[in-house]
């Protein structure tokens, strides 16, 4: 392949009545420049192609390694799956036997616990009923005292209002001793 320098150094023999030297030189300079540009572009493309080929080769190596790794991983996964299935079946069988034993023991314990719970529940219900009865009695007693307190307090307030208005008359509640009021509030 011709290089730009080969074109530039090319000399033609002279003949009588040949082409104009100046026109030939100008045209040759133009060809040299264009060819040099194309030559450089071609060289750049070759360099790029070489780099692409290197990259492709590198990726092909990686792809091969990945394929081998995948094959090995699949084989290992299959081995692990088979071993896991065997172990799982053994564990299931063992668990089934243990579950049957625990179920029998649990049923026996549950029957005993239920019997004890029923006895204790009866005791607790009886105790709760007794406490409810006591609480209701206390509630009624407190409710009665609250009514008495409200009546006395209302009477007291009415008396105070009358005193403020100047119409005070002594009420039966005012005549009682304060100690008696405190006892009745308890």
**Tens of pLDDT, residues 30-52:** 888 888 899 899 999 999 999 99
Work out the average pLDDT over 105-126: 90
- Coil, strand or helix at 103: helix
Instruction: Indicate whether 2 belongs to any domain.
Output: no
Does residue 65 lie in a domain region? yes
* Residue 106 within a domain: yes
Per-state percent for the chain, helix, strand, coil, to nearest 5 = 90, 0, 10
Whether 1 maps to a domain, the answer reads no
For residue 8, tell me if it sits in a domain.
Answer: no
- Average pLDDT score over residue span 127-153: 93
Range of the domain at 116: 20-185
Tokens of 111: 């029957």
Residue 13 within a domain: no
pLDDT digits (tens, 9 = 90+) for 89-114: 999 999 999 999 999 999 999 899 98
How many structural domains are present in the chain?
1
Give the per-residue pLDDT at 159: 93
Q: Say which residues have a Cβ less than 8 Å from residue 12's Cβ, sequence separation at least 6.
A: 24
User: Is 11 part of a structural domain of the chain?
Assistant: no
What per-residue confidence (pLDDT) applies to 182? 54
Helix/strand/coil for 181: helix
φ, ψ for residue 103 (rounded to 5)?
-60, -45
CA 185 remoteness from chain centre: 61
Q: Is residue 7 one of the residues assigned to a domain?
A: no
pTM as predicted? 0.34
């Amino acid at each position: 392949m011709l290089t730009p320098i080969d074109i530039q150094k090319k000399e033609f023999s002279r003949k009588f009545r040949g082409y104009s030297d100046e026109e030939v030189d100008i045209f040759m300079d133009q060809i040299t420049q264009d060819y040099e540009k194309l030559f450089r572009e071609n060289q750049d493309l070759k360099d790029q192609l070489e780099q692409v080929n290197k990259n492709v080769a590198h990726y092909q190596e990686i792809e091969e390694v990945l394929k081998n790794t995948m094959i090995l991983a699949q084989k290992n996964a299959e081995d692990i799956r088979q071993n896991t299935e065997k172990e799982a079946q053994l564990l299931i069988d063992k668990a089934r036997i243990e579950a049957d034993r625990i179920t029998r023991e649990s049923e026996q314990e549950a029957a005993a616990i239920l019997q004890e719970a029923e006895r204790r529940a009866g005791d607790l219900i009886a105790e709760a009923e007794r406490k409810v009865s006591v609480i209701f009695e206390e509630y009624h007693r407190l409710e009665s005292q609250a009514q008495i307190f409200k009546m006395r307090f209302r009477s007291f307030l009415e008396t105070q209002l009358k005193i403020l208005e100047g119409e005070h008359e002594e009420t039966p509640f005012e005549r009682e001793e304060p100690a008696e009021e405190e006892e009745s509030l308890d």
